[in-house]
A = this chain, B = another copy of it.
Amino acid sequence: MSSVPEQLKPIFDQLDKNTDSNIAKLAKAISFKAVSADESLRQECFKKADYIQSLLEELNCTDIQQFDLGEEKPGLPLPPVILARLGTSPTKKTVVVYAHMDVQPASIEDGWDTEPFVLHHDKEKGLLIGRGATDDTGPLLAWLNMIEAHQQLNKELPVNLIFCFETMEESGSIGLENLIKEQSQVSGYFYKTCSKIDAVAISDNYWLGTTTPALTYGLRGCNYYQIKVSGPKADLHSGVFGGCIAEPMVDLVQLLSTLVNSQGEILIPGVKEMVAPVTEEEKNIYKSIKYSIEEFNESSNSNTCLFDNKEDVLMHRWRMPSLSVHGIENAFSGPGAKTVIPATCTGKFSIRTVPHIDSAKLDALVIDHVNKEFAKLNSKNTMVCELIHDGAYWYSDPYNESFTAASKATELVWGQKPDLTREGGSIPITLTFEEQLKSSVVLIPCGRGNDGAHSINEKIDLENYVNGGKLLGSYLYYLAE
């Protein structure tokens, strides 16, 4: 950090000075048990939103609104989305900042070493431990810490900000997509004081490992299918009917066996052909990333990796489609030896999608393939294969203006170029922002790959918490240049 620009130097110093109070702020924020998946804790989600709103008020945000998203089900109100504004200068760029206030379930009985909703500062290891420390309360506060430092120094931010903080991310972001669509109309919240959103920044993911910072420019999508085979009208006894009746489970395992082989190759004709070719530029990205098969095996706790080199692993995680067979509904699934012939059974599988797989074309290929395979079986049962859920992939140019700013910021704060990563899972809201606001989205992780976001002993390194404020501030600085 030798060459910190003049404008940023005092901000960085101020953030360092504020370390203790910023830790205290994190301690307060994670003390709310804002578990969106736990109905009994719904009020904690509301309280945490009120607390975050009070912080936005202290920072002189304007037009702060808690949007009521209605009920999750009768009697269970959805917690709010907060939209707020800081700066409305027509000469500055406008950046939308997304984060979420809710957290994953946690209790000490799960195996935590300390109470999950009481921040534990492990000073020896430099860790801040608690549910939400890295996902996503810590990064959310990093934004606010950075703004506070500016204001303490009477410095203006180089851009206008619009905050979008939700409280249902860990439970499917119910209601958020609709809200964004509504507020992206000409008369909507996003366009009330500006004509254009210049960038969307999200800090809700992680470095690949523990030593190299990252920027994320792609997410796979997910098309989830089911195959339902139906035969007799009720479950039958295999002693009485076995050998005389067409068994739905027999057909189903035949069909599921035609989808993918044990090497992970998708066997459905036409799918591979839709995948974007790997460019040389892209290959260089994988080559430059510090990663190893050993790290992968450590994360799966086994030696079941399908590949023997990091490039293949990264490509198949991030930019190649995959097909997983998840299970079977309505067949016998308990322990022991039940001699049932299930009357109906429903196999579940999904395909992770990547550029340039057309979602509707994929559905057609999958359903056509399964229909053809079923016809080959010459079965007396009936079969329906259908899509039951989909979420599109997202892919951004990792060298555009916003990524370039984020890359410079990362190098400034961490002293090294970020890994350009993609992720195998999907964050559907990323695509919604991009489409609705017609703006580039950048994923700027604050935390490390071993933070344990959805696990026990979730932590953020104190260094990452403090540097998070510096990183996000620098990003805005370079973006405004």
Contacts and interface: CB of A to CB of B under 8 A. Distances in A.
B329 A328 contact: no
A316 B244 contact: yes
A239 B424 contact: yes
A296 B339 contact: no
B388 A337 contact: yes
A142 to B, nearest CB: 24
A263 B378 contact: yes
A296 B262 CA distance: 39
Interface residues of A, number: 80
Given A234-B301, A254-B262, A327-B331, A337 B389 contact: yes
Nearest to A347: B253
A257 interface: yes
A284 interface: no
Given A240-B424, A305-B244, A426-B239, A333 B329 contact: yes
Given A339-B350, A352-B238, A317 B232 contact: no
A60 to B, nearest CB: 39
Given A254-B257, A327-B333, A377-B262, A243 B317 contact: yes
A326 B251 CA distance: 12
A290 to B, nearest CB: 17
A256 to B, nearest CB: 4
A356 to B, nearest CB: 17
Contacts of A378: 262-263
A317 to B, nearest CB: 5
Contacts of A345: 327
Question: Looking at A234, A253, A296, A328, which has the most chain B CB atoms within 10 Å of its CB?
Answer: A253
Given A424-B243, A426-B239, A303 B380 contact: yes
A322 B377 contact: no
A147 interface: no
Number of identical protomers:
2
A249 to B, nearest CB: 4
A302 B241 contact: no
Interface string A227-271: 000011110111111111111011101101100111110000000
Contacts of A263: 378
Contacts of A424: 237-243
B305 A245 contact: yes
Given A244-B317, A245-B305, A331-B326, A337 B348 contact: yes
Contact of A326 (B256, B257, B320, B338): B338
A238 B224 CA distance: 11
B425 A300 contact: no
Nearest to A343: B302
Contacts of A234: 301
Interface in A262-302: 262-264, 296, 300-302
A22 B384 CA distance: 53
A152 interface: no
Given A232-B304, A253-B256, A379-B262, A243 B325 contact: no
Contacts of A352: 238-239, 242-243
B243 A304 contact: no
A136 interface: no
A306 interface: yes
A444 to B, nearest CB: 19
Contact of A339 (B307, B324, B377, B381): B324
A333 B364 CA distance: 26
A254 B257 CA distance: 5
A335 interface: yes
A325 B233 contact: no
Of listed A236, A243, A302, A379, residue having the most chain B CB within 10 A: A243
A124 to B, nearest CB: 28
Nearest to A220: B239
A240 B322 contact: no
A143 B238 CA distance: 31
Given A238-B352, A240-B423, A244-B307, 4 more contacts: A247-B264, A327-B340, A330-B333, A338-B348
30 contacts: A222-B239, A232-B301, A233-B300, A233-B301, A237-B425, A241-B300, A244-B307, A244-B313, A244-B316, A244-B322, A245-B264, A245-B302, A246-B264, A247-B325, A250-B324, A253-B257, A254-B261, A304-B380, A304-B381, A324-B339, A326-B332, A327-B328, A327-B332, A328-B332, A329-B333, A329-B335, A330-B333, A331-B333, A332-B348, A337-B350
